[in-house]
Structure 1
């Protein structure tokens, strides 16, 4: 299927020539149809022959010569664990200087444990606004532990000024954090590498401001960004333009379309997308229509990946602070959940199911290869993702008609699909736990609510501050963790 006229927005160089942003593409290629040629290999060389051994053969998507995505030989990897794939071939950036291999990106050896972020980066994340950029378990500060005086504390740089430039609450929510750790990228990309290993085209659906697109661009030759909101698409253009300006040796190129996730197949050619992602937005969709449309766009063995996190974090390792924070969020009320889930009843109900409401048609996907993953949620993912105040609305459900009851979202998990649980204690779930100061809770509220609300909640914030000062080893920091659900599925080869 060709690109739908009027839906894809391309940068126009002049009246007669359309070019993709950051890519020289002729007008005849603007439909993302297969365009094989004798040009030199892609700037993205994904895997070596040695790495390919033991992985299934994949079908190339239609943006590059066949040599850009190496085919594989041999038997399928026997391990059930999708984390076993390795790669040793470098990603080629110009002359190759300073480039990293896919394996090094996936293993995190090119970045610090915090994803290569500087303290300045942390100061722009509301829940990390007061964090000290250190490991979670630093050497004890004996002077602070045994001193009779209160340790000196400094206030992190404010992010409220920049936050006020974003008018849409949900867009602000998606941009505000938590920042996706390197472990989630490795989880998704290693799963994709095992089942497809084609790295031509990724589609970021419901992208909002495009915060995940730069990550996709590290792995894929081309990234298509779509969002149903014009404001989100404009924000993604600005963010990705800035990202491209700071990354001269670009690994990915971007195109854009004003499209709903349920219309994914209308903005790309059929069977060309290698990886389709929905981050923090799947619950806003009609899941049946969305899954079938995405499936039509996916190449054989292509990957569908979804990620959703809980809108508020839990405190771990300090029961007194945990209870104080729980009182704060109870007093705050519906706001964080309204921003994350929307006020529409069906969106909230779907969000409360984690990602279990997403169906997986057996005629389109390999159910036995599906992974439904929870991180830091244990077996309480439904309880964690359901808004607390929704529990009091069960009586309203009893007043529904039979048709309304039938329309309620329910779990669509099939017995053939595999559930996996991880925590921050392991490598796969690492990175969703952070150390923050008490001020970060104030910043989080101020990001999404009024000054009057912050004033109203001041006694609860003061209580948290005092609890941290009394119970934290250094009187400054406390550990929080986010609950996350991940959905990974592989399209059948012949569909």
Structure 2
């Protein structure tokens, strides 16, 4: 891939070093190579929202569900200290290695915690910004959101974000084949994957509720969605919307979340999803997609949703 979504693998990091076995979880070497990198505009949307609040501070950020620390490493350039938490075995250890090799920040700038979003050891009323990127659908959201509120200072910012699989454009045959890939994935893993996680993700996080007594200035930003949630839907499981009339909705098209790619990148991207889907299981679909592409690159765009909220004093 090229342009704004350049892969983390273009750094000096050794992919093999950041790989996990299937028993331990995500293969982060594939994730770093084939998932889109959060562009600067992603962080600027969060920072601009945060800056607009009275008494804004840049002291402590908490990146929950941090994985190997991709978002955390960027937050460190704006905040005095960053707490990095993830419930999965080994992930925070990996985040420490990843961040200390990728950045010039001292280890003292970071705090690493292996714990869930629903129950954290982070002290109450101490955090200026909490990010939960690509993880809220794996939690019990109502409990996690209450926990985020406990940690935040009054006026602090919560940013919950999710991106789904990229969409292919300007090639109807390739669009049909790409959809068939995801239909096959969803059908095979329907019984294995959490129904709740699918319902939340398919609804573009609209099922997440933010009580008005606890939160204010709630803003939902839909990127590359073209005014509909269809691009987020992997199957027919969709949670009920809890969006309130008082919440602001913004629909934007953002080229920073667009790129061009070929068949090998598309295969690599699918391989980052869990449970792992063997290429050979749908070889006939991949063959059709390859024929549709005719050896050429195709433009893709990634639908993204960002929820920004302020803890009410």
Does TM, scored on the shorter chain, surpass 0.5? yes
Task: Select the structure of larger CA radius of gyration.
Answer: 1
1:177 match: 35
Is the CA contact 1:280–1:309 (under 8 Å) kept in the aligned structure 2?
A: yes
- Which whole-Å deviations, capped at 9, do the CAs of 1:134-163 have from their partners, x for residues lacking one? xxxxxxxxxxxxxxxxxxxxxxxxx7x667
**Selected match of 2:199 from 329, 345, 349:** 349
In structure 1, which of residues 259, 263, 266 is the aligned counterpart of residue 119 of structure 2? 263
Report the counterpart of residue 441 of structure 1 in structure 2. 266
Shift of 1:113: 6.2
1:327 aligns with 2:186: no
Calculate the TM-score normalised by the size of structure 2: 0.85
C-alpha change, 1:336 and 1:195, in structure 2 (3 Å) is farther
Deviation of 1:438 after TM superposition, in Å, equals 1.6
Aligned-partner Cα distance in 2 for 1:372–1:459: 39
Structure 1 segments, 4+ long, off by >6 Å, are: 335-338, 449-452
Structure 1 residues 122, 462: CA separation in 2 closer, same or farther (over 3 Å shift)? farther
Report the secondary structure of 2:36's partner residue.
coil
Distance 1:414 1:193, change over 3 A: same
- Secondary structure of 1:457's match? helix
Q: What CA RMSD, in Å, does the superposition of the two structures yield over aligned residues?
A: 3.3
Change (3 A) 1:449 1:213: closer
- Map of 2:78 onto structure 1: 219
**In 2: Cα distance, 1:219 partner to 1:285 partner:** 27
Q: Following superposition of structure 1 onto structure 2, how do residues 5-404 of structure 1 map, counting pairs within 5 Å?
A: 114=4, 121=10, 165-167=20-22, 168-170=24-26, 172=28, 175=32, 176-196=34-54, 197-244=56-103, 247=104, 253-264=109-120, 267-310=121-164, 312-334=165-187, 343-366=193-216, 369-381=217-229, 383-388=230-235, 390=237
Structure 2 distance, partners of 1:364, 1:281, is 22
Instruction: Check whether the contact 2:7–2:35 (CA below 8 A) recurs between aligned residues.
Output: no
How far did residue 441 of structure 1 move? 2.0
Per residue, is there more strand in 1 or in 2? 2
TM-score, with structure 1 as normaliser: 0.56
Please give the alpha-carbon distance, in whole angstroms, between the structure 2 residues aligned to 1:468 and 1:490: 45
Structure 1: gaps (5+ residues): 1-111, 125-158, 392-408, 425-429, 470-474
Deviation at 1:413, TM superposition (A): 1.3
Q: 2:308 is paired with a residue of what secondary structure? A: strand
On the 8 A contact 1:298/1:491 being kept in 2, the answer is yes
Choose which of 413, 430, 435 in structure 1 pairs with 2:243: 413
8 Å contact from structure 1 (residues 221, 251) kept in 2: no
Q: CA deviation at 1:234?
A: 2.1
Q: Deviations over 1:345-369 (max 9, x none)?
A: 2222222221112221222211xx2
Deviations 1:251-299 (A, max 9, x none): 98100122211124xx223212110010011112222221222112111
Tell me if the contact between 1:204 and 1:223 (Cα under 8 Å) persists in the aligned partners. Answer: yes
Aligned-partner Cα distance in 2 for 1:459–1:476: 19
Displacement, 1:480?
A: 0.9
3-state secondary structure, aligned to 1:431: helix
- Aligned residue for 1:289, secondary structure, equals helix
Matched-pair contact (CA < 8 Å) for 1:365–1:490: yes
Aligned length: 308
1: CA distance, partners of 2:4 / 2:108: 23
Seen in structure 2, the aligned counterparts of structure 1 residues 361 and 485 have a Cα distance that, compared at 3 Å, is: same
Residues 1:485 and 2:298 are matched in the alignment: no
Q: Which has the higher contact order (CA 8 A, sep 6+)?
A: 2
